[in-house]
Homo-oligomer: A and B are copies of this chain.
Amino acid sequence: MCSTRACTEGRKPISTSIGESDFPVPIEDRYFEDYVPNCVYEYGSITISEQEILEFAKKFDPQPFHTDPEAASHSPFGGLIASGWHTASVMMRLFADHYLSRVASLGGPGVDELRWHKPVRPGDSLRIRVTVLEAERSGSKPDQGLVRSFVEVFDQEGNPVMELTVMNILLGREAGSTAI
């Protein structure tokens, strides 16, 4: 089951004025069975500062348009932009804080079709919209299942900046309640 409102929201562009969508089950009691295909949830935002962009890029992605505001101003981007991996990591923070179960997550095998649509710049605030695409119980381990979620990241003006499909393995409710 998922809330009707969330399910009927469909794929409309996110609005900066709406609040978080209600997942029908609290994050501390969310199991595989609670991820229902076609349900849509929205969460955020997190604002990215210039300092954070520079810090992340100097560690992980030291290209001048990520690490040097002066050099970036002469690049095709016309100014400093966040590493795409920084944007992905901020997406993960929203995904972990609001969507992924606190008790049933067993990690994820990977992600597919990650696309960066628009550079993220200092001061941008990111929100995510998550659509449950598919939830398949494991044949070999029936106490768990694989959930595929389509995640869109938007900036404060509703522009899409990134999208990807995330896979997560989640413990089923019965296994979770007997495991402890």
A contact set with B: CB distance below 8 Å: 56, 59-63, 65, 76-77, 81, 83-85, 88-90, 92-93, 96-97, 100, 102, 105-116, 119, 164
Residues of B contacting A89 in the complex (Cβ-Cβ under 8 angstroms): 56, 59-61, 83, 85, 89
Question: Assembly of this chain: how many copies?
Answer: 2
Residues of B contacting A63 in the complex (Cβ-Cβ under 8 angstroms): 96, 100, 102, 105
Other A-B contacts than A63-B105, A84-B110, A110-B113, 7 sampled, CB-CB below 8 A, are A61-B89, A63-B96, A63-B102, A81-B107, A83-B89, A110-B114, A110-B116
The interface residues of chain A, by DSSP majority, are classed as mixed
25 contacts between A and B (CB under 8 A): A56-B89, A59-B89, A60-B89, A61-B89, A61-B96, A62-B96, A63-B100, A77-B107, A81-B107, A83-B92, A84-B108, A85-B85, A85-B88, A85-B89, A89-B89, A107-B116, A107-B119, A108-B116, A109-B116, A110-B113, A110-B114, A110-B164, A111-B114, A112-B112, A114-B114
